């Protein structure tokens, strides 16, 4: 059974608190004008055309679940990701990407960067770093569940951050490899604000 992704845009702090409690996180202090985007789904086959797709069903099975929460204030953004049903006790690199998911992992484009690297692919640590990109690396537990949080001191540019990609391993910080995390294992469309 395919579960259609659900998206909720919230401008009320009380609903955001409920979502954070459900995911097992403590909600940060927030102002009434904060924007919340909450999106959940089950992964489907890469060629399904669904918003959450897996390219490596042995690591991210078709019935695995993902939830992404974005909390954005005037000059900051917090992104939370939670997963369940992935391969147990495994490291994953997770990043926000510029494009939408497609039948191939490369369809989602490069990592979203606050200050764009003029070179593509971006492996310069001046641009490919956790302050300029959204890195949500995690290690799943014995049940295949995991989660991560990233806080940035900037907001996404409208329409330029469109998905979350789960990668093969944690993100490298080495010169010439900065920002790389191996193959793209799964993708989830998220309409970041």
Span 26-52, pLDDT tens digits: 555 555 557 789 999 999 999 999 999
Nearest to 16 by CA among 156, 163, 8: 8
pLDDT score, position 175: 87
Distance of CA 70 to the CA centre of its chain: 10
pLDDT tens profile 106-155: 999 999 999 999 998 999 999 999 999 999 999 999 999 999 999 999 99
pTM of the full structure: 0.85
CATH dotted code for 6-189: 2.60.40.200
CA gap 38, 6 in Å, rounded? 8
Q: Which strands make up the sheet holding 77-84, listed edge to edge?
A: 6-10, 35-42, 65-72, 77-84, 146-152
Q: pLDDT exceeding 70 applies to what percent of the chain? A: 83
Domain residue spans in the chain? 6-189
Q: Within 10 Å of residue 48's Cβ, how many Cβ atoms?
A: 14
């Amino acid at each position: 059974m395919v579960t259609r992704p659900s998206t909720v845009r919230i401008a009320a702090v009380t609903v955001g608190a409920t979502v954070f409690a459900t995911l097992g996180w403590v909600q940060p202090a927030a102002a009434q004008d904060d924007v919340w985007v909450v999106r959940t789904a089950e992964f489907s086959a890469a060629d399904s055309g669904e918003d959450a797709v897996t390219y490596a069903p042995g690591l991210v099975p078709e019935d695995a679940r993902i939830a992404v929460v974005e909390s954005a204030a005037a000059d900051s953004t917090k992104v939370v990701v939670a997963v369940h049903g992935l391969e147990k006790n495994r490291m994953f690199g997770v990043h926000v990407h510029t494009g939408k998911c497609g039948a191939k992992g490369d369809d989602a484009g490069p990592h979203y960067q606050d200050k764009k690297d003029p070179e593509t692919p971006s492996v310069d640590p001046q641009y490919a770093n956790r302050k300029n990109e959204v890195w949500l690396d995690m290690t799943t537990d014995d049940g295949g569940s995991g989660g991560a949080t990233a806080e940035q001191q900037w907001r996404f540019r409208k329409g330029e951050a469109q998905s979350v990609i789960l990668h093969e391993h944690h993100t490298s910080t080495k010169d010439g490899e900065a920002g790389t995390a191996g193959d793209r294992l799964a993708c989830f469309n998220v309409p970041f604000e």
